[in-house]
């Protein structure tokens, strides 16, 4: 018996030791899993920053679709897609530096635009058509969150502007840093046009009253991107984020969005009714930019067919039939805007740009008769000299047509990472 006792005790100790080791292994596994979750969370919050960096460098090569891809996406051959280019005239600079997102209200002869304020947050400003008599609309407004505000659009009456505003409090890219630090501050993903941590707001043109039209969940998966009124002012369209940017995904590099429309109702107080959601083909980047003049279609850009944000194409979406028509087949395209007469679309593209960057193009409302009108990224061209960015790429952005449709004010971004730029005046070719 005496010889067996140690054996029994040894067996009991071995089993206890095994359970102890299994417990330690399980604990280590839990620590590893929690570390992975924490790392993934931090990495995902950094995705927008890194995406912007990758986006910047990716546009320094020709991102145009190869000819065989064009043929697979369209029955038209490359030679039939475009008409000979006609050069526009850059007549001068309206605002610089750091003015963007210009919108024009024909009823009041006022323009609205976005620029950084003294607190380093973007804010909306108003001015006369020639840029004179500037006044702040959202800066230090007591009824707004007090951070970024922009990506605005006028109600046709001139009574209101709709815009996106950063939430007062939300998560951070890098904790403990000031929120308004460029690029790495917690407000960087909420820059107007980036789609993060932002809600949909309305403000009267005299800044007297504000109305939150749509408040989304306070997390990195949600936000609002570029709202637009219909030409009769009765409807509103915007893109709404449903998944945050995925750095390693070409499809979701800018996140996943859906398109939404709603009735804009003024009484008893301005609000939205009958909100509808449209998602042509699953998770992808969708950016809406305009209603057609009759309100039957919305224009948008997306990568749902190409699977690559840097090959986003332009589309027209029929709201009643819920069908889409592709308007472009090559390059990277965004920011389409319809002319006052409803016949022409101006848009941004990197097609034909061997020196990177993007320029403005025109096409008919049905996507035909495409022609390039600016050459801000063509080495040695007069347009490149006028922009004066020391030969570095620039990116054409949103435009505001003149009432007669003969010229426009346009955003030119000179730095994608810092989101800086200026607004220039461009006269269309005859």
The pLDDT, as a whole number, for residue 356 is 84
Taking residues 394-413, what's their average pLDDT?
96
Place of tokens 């083909």: 281
Judge whether 301 and 289 are in contact, CB under 8 Å: yes
Taking residues 329-356, what's their average pLDDT?
94
Over the stretch 118-165, which tens digit does the pLDDT of each residue have?
888 999 999 999 999 999 999 999 999 999 999 999 999 999 999 999
Over the stretch 272-309, which tens digit does the pLDDT of each residue have?
999 999 999 899 999 999 999 999 999 999 999 999 99
The pLDDT, as a whole number, for residue 83 is 66
The pLDDT > 90 percentage for the chain reads 66
Whether the pLDDT of residue 1 is over 50: the answer is no
The pLDDT, as a whole number, for residue 350 is 96
**Span 47-427: which CATH code?**
2.120.10.30
Whether the pLDDT of residue 414 is over 80: the answer is yes
Taking residues 336-352, what's their average pLDDT?
96
Judge whether 371 and 359 are in contact, CB under 8 Å: no
Spell out the residues 6+ positions from residue 208 whose beta carbon is closer than 8 angstroms to its own.
Answer: none
Whether the pLDDT of residue 19 is over 50: the answer is yes
Q: Give the confidence band of 406 by pLDDT, cuts at 50, 70, 90.
A: very high
Cα separation, 396 vs 411, in Å, equals 6
Closest by Cα among 238, 241, 246 to 195: 241
E-strand stretches of 67-221: 89-95, 100-105, 110-116, 122-128, 135-136, 149-154, 160-166, 198-204, 210-214
Q: Which pTM value belongs to this model?
A: 0.81
Judge whether 168 and 146 are in contact, CB under 8 Å: yes
Q: Which DSSP helix (H) or strand (E) runs through 323?
A: strand 323-326
The pLDDT, as a whole number, for residue 274 is 98
Cα separation, 87 vs 430, in Å, equals 9
Over the stretch 362-383, which tens digit does the pLDDT of each residue have?
999 999 999 999 999 999 999 9
The pLDDT, as a whole number, for residue 72 is 29
What Cα–Cα distance (Å) separates residue 254 from each residue in 76, 247, 383?
Answer: 29, 8, 30
Cα separation, 310 vs 244, in Å, equals 17
Structural domain spans, the chain: 47-427
Taking residues 156-180, what's their average pLDDT?
80
Cα separation, 115 vs 36, in Å, equals 39
Q: Give the confidence band of 81 by pLDDT, cuts at 50, 70, 90.
A: low
Sheet of strand 210-214: strand arrangement: 149-154, 160-166, 198-204, 210-214
Long-range contacts made by residues 211-218, C-beta under 8 angstroms, separation at least 24? 211/269, 211/270, 211/271, 213/162, 213/270, 213/271, 213/272, 214/240, 214/272, 214/275, 216/240, 216/241, 218/167, 218/169, 218/170
What Cα–Cα distance (Å) separates residue 225 from each residue in 122, 287, 298, 429?
Answer: 15, 7, 15, 32
């Amino acid at each position: 018996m005496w010889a067996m006792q140690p054996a029994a005790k040894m067996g009991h100790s071995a089993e206890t030791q095994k359970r102890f080791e299994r417990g330690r292994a399980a604990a280590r596994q839990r620590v590893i899993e929690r570390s992975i979750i924490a790392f993934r969370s931090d990495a995902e919050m950094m995705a927008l920053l890194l995406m912007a960096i990758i986006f910047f460098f990716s546009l320094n090569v020709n991102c145009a679709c190869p000819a065989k891809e064009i043929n697979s996406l369209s029955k038209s051959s490359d030679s039939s897609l475009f008409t000979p280019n006609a050069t526009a005239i850059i007549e001068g600079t309206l605002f610089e530096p750091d003015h963007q997102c210009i919108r024009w209200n024909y009823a009041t002869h006022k323009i609205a635009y976005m620029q950084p304020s003294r607190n380093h947050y973007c804010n909306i400003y108003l001015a006369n058509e020639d840029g004179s008599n500037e006044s702040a609309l959202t800066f230090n407004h007591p009824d707004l969150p007090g951070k970024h505000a922009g990506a605005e659009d006028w109600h046709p009456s001139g009574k209101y502007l709709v815009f996106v505003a950063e939430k007062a409090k939300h998560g951070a890219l890098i904790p403990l840093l000031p929120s308004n630090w460029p690029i790495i501050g917690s407000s960087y993903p909420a820059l107007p046009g980036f789609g993060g941590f932002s809600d949909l707001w309305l403000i009267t043109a005299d800044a007297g009253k504000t109305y939150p039209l749509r408040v989304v969940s306070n997390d990195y998966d949600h936000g609002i991107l570029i709202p637009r009124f219909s030409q009769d002012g009765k409807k509103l369209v915007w893109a709404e984020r449903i998944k945050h940017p995925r750095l390693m995904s070409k499809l979701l590099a800018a996140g996943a969005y859906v398109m939404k429309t709603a009735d804009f109702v003024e009484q008893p107080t301005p609000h939205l009714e009958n909100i509808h959601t449209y998602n042509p083909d699953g998770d992808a980047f969708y950016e809406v930019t305009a209603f057609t003049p009759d309100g039957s279609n919305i224009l948008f850009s997306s990568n749902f067919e190409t699977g690559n944000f840097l090959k986003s194409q332009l589309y027209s979406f029929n709201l009643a039939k819920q069908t889409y028509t592709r308007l472009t087949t090559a390059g990277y395209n965004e920011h389409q805007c319809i002319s006052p007469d409803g016949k022409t679309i101006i848009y941004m593209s990197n097609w034909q740009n061997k020196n990177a960057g993007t320029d403005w193009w025109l096409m008919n409302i049905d996507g035909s008769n495409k022609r390039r009108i600016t050459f801000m990224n063509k080495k040695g061209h007069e347009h490149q000299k006028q922009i004066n960015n020391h030969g570095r790429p620039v990116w054409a952005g949103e435009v505001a047509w003149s009432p007669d449709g003969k010229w426009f004010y346009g955003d030119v971004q000179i730095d994608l990472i810092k989101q800086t730029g200026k607004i220039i005046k461009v006269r269309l070719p005859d």
